[in-house]
């Protein structure tokens, strides 16, 4: 085997290690942080900013609800507060399918890598 073949083989091994490291199993928080990168990272940033704004406004409405002395005033603060907090929760949960899709894609890449190693 020539030195060039040896260098190519070492480069391929390094590339395979890089692929293995890129497709390794990630924890819950790593999967969540990964949503903020890539092509659709900006969408995640927008969703999270809107979600935080909805939650803060909903929390303000909740404080006003508990401070209200009149039933009608309590309803005027309580219903929008509950709706805003539920909307914030729903927006956060809207990111979960993307996290699951990323997990499936990562496993498909691992499977492709294993098949490529068996062929080679």
**The model scores a pTM over 0.85:** no
Q: What is the pLDDT of residue 83?
A: 96
Pairwise CA distance, residues 86 & 80, whole Å? 10
pLDDT mean over 78-82: 96
CA 46 to chain CA centroid, Å, is: 13
Q: For residue 81, what are its two tokens?
A: 């507060």
Q: Contact at 8 Å (CB) between 90 and 63? A: no
pLDDT(15) > 70: no
In the chain, where the domains are located: 27-119
The DSSP annotation for 56-112 comes to: HHHHHHHHHHHH--SHHHHHHHHHHHHHHHHHHHHHHHTTHHHHHHHHHHHHHHHHH
How confident is residue 28, by pLDDT bands cut at 50, 70 and 90?
confident
């Amino acid at each position: 085997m020539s030195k060039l073949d040896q260098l190519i083989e070492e480069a391929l091994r390094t590339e395979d290690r890089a692929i293995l490291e890129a497709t390794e199993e990630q924890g819950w928080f790593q999967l969540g942080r990964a949503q903020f990168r890539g092509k659709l990272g900006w969408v995640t940033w927008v969703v999270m900013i809107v979600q935080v704004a909805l939650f803060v406004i909903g929390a303000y409405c909740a404080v006003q609800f508990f401070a209200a002395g009149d039933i009608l005033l309590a309803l005027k603060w309580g219903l929008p507060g509950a709706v805003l907090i539920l909307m914030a929760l729903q927006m956060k949960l809207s990111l979960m399918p993307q996290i699951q899709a990323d997990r499936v894609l990562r496993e498909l890449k691992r499977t492709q890598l294993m098949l490529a190693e068996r062929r080679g």
